Structure 1
Amino acid sequence: MDLILWRHAEAEDNWEDMARKLTIKGQLQAKLSAQWLRQHLPDNRQIYCSEAVRSQQTARYLKQPFTVNKLFNPDCHPLDLATFLQQQLPTSTQIWVGHQPWIGQFCAYLLNGVWLPQQFWSVKKSAFWWFDVRFYQQRHQARVKVVLSPSNLK
């Protein structure tokens, strides 16, 4: 299965975190990332995003239906995502639009094969990590296919 972890684009500062909207720069970032993804995504795909406005705005640039799920909210725990991933069809492409730190934590988890809470990677705004993930007897094996940020797409 292909799994794409896409961090939301730059958002405005706002005291209410879930209501933060994309800035003008964030809109451009999301547009650049989405254009590249649309050109390279297979047809069989599912898009999920958090309940946060900025995550949904980022996902809309793919111009595809998406599912809002609180599992992908900023405060989610990466091990809950691991369980969710195991429940998905192995032939699908999953696109998860979300937040730091869980995206960086989940990248580290996928490649380390174990959960190490102190380890996570920095993921730039509107950057995405594309993994090929396979399961063998409830354990996963992942390899990185693509890592891109909007600054690489201009």
Structure 2
Amino acid sequence: MDLLLWRHAEAVDGSPDHTRELTERGLKQARKMADWLDQHRPKRLRVLASPTMRTRQTAAAFTDAFEIVPALGPECGVSDLLAASGWPDATGATLLVGHQPGLGRLAALLLSGIEADWTIKKGALWWFTNRVREGESQTVLRAVIPADLA
């Protein structure tokens, strides 16, 4: 399985939190990453987004075929993200468009085996693959792409 974590692009400050929209810079970040994803995407990619406006706008820069998943909201935890994605047992690939600190904590768990307060920058993408070698399940970090390098 492939698991891609995409933090929403830069959004305006304010409240209510769920209705915050992307800034002009955020829209550019989302389009650049969407272009990168379009060129490198895995086959059979399922796209799941938090219900917030900024994550829906980020996902929409890439595709209109995304599913809004309440469990991916800003208050979500690692267990919510894992359940939504089906990691590591689902087939194909899943792209989660979400928030800090949940995405960073999930990245830490996948790479180090424990949750920790790691930061995924706004608009950045982290791509993980799960594979089995000699009967052992392994997590492989395939790519980390910050928005400004997409």
Q: Which TM-score applies when normalising by structure 2?
A: 0.90
Q: C-alpha separation between the residues in 2 aligned to 1:135 and 1:18?
A: 39
Question: C-alpha distance in 2, partners of 1:4/1:123?
Answer: 12
**Contact 2:85–2:96, Cα closer than 8 Å, also in 1:** no
| Maintained 8 Å contact 1:107/1:120 | no
Deviations 1:61-105 (Å, cap 9, x if unpaired)? Answer: 112400000111000011222233337763311000000111100
Secondary structure at the counterpart of residue 4 of structure 1? strand
Q: TM-score, normalised by structure 1?
A: 0.88
Q: How does 1:131-142 map to 2 (within 5 A)?
A: 131-134=128-131, 141-142=138-139
In the alignment, which residue of structure 2 is the partner of 1:16?
A: 16
In structure 2, the CA distance between the partners of 1:40 and 1:87, relative to structure 1 (3 Å rule), is closer
1:13-36 deviation line (CA, Å, top 9, x unaligned): 112100000000000000000100
Structure 1 residue 135: Cα displacement: 7.1
> Any unmatched runs of 5+ in structure 1?
none
The reply on whether 1:125 has 2:122 as its aligned counterpart is yes
Identify if the C-alpha distance between structure 1 residues 89 and 142 changes in structure 2 by more than 3 Å, giving closer, same or farther. closer
Contact 1:71 1:80 in 2 (8 A): yes
Q: CA 1:38 to 1:21, structure 2 compared with 1: closer, same or farther past 3 Å?
A: same
Note the alpha carbon deviations across 1:82-141, whole angstroms, 9 max, x for none: 233337763311000000111100000111224x3xx121111100000002479xx963
Q: SS of the counterpart of 2:18?
A: helix
Aligned residues: 148
State whether residues 113 and 141 of structure 1, in contact with CA within 8 Å, keep that contact through their aligned partners in structure 2. Answer: no
Distance change >3 Å, CA 71–CA 4, structure 1 → 2: same
The RMSD of aligned alpha carbons is 2.0
- Name the aligned partner's letter for residue 80 of structure 2: D
Match of 2:145 in 1: 148
Q: 1:87 to 1:148 in 2, by over 3 A?
A: closer
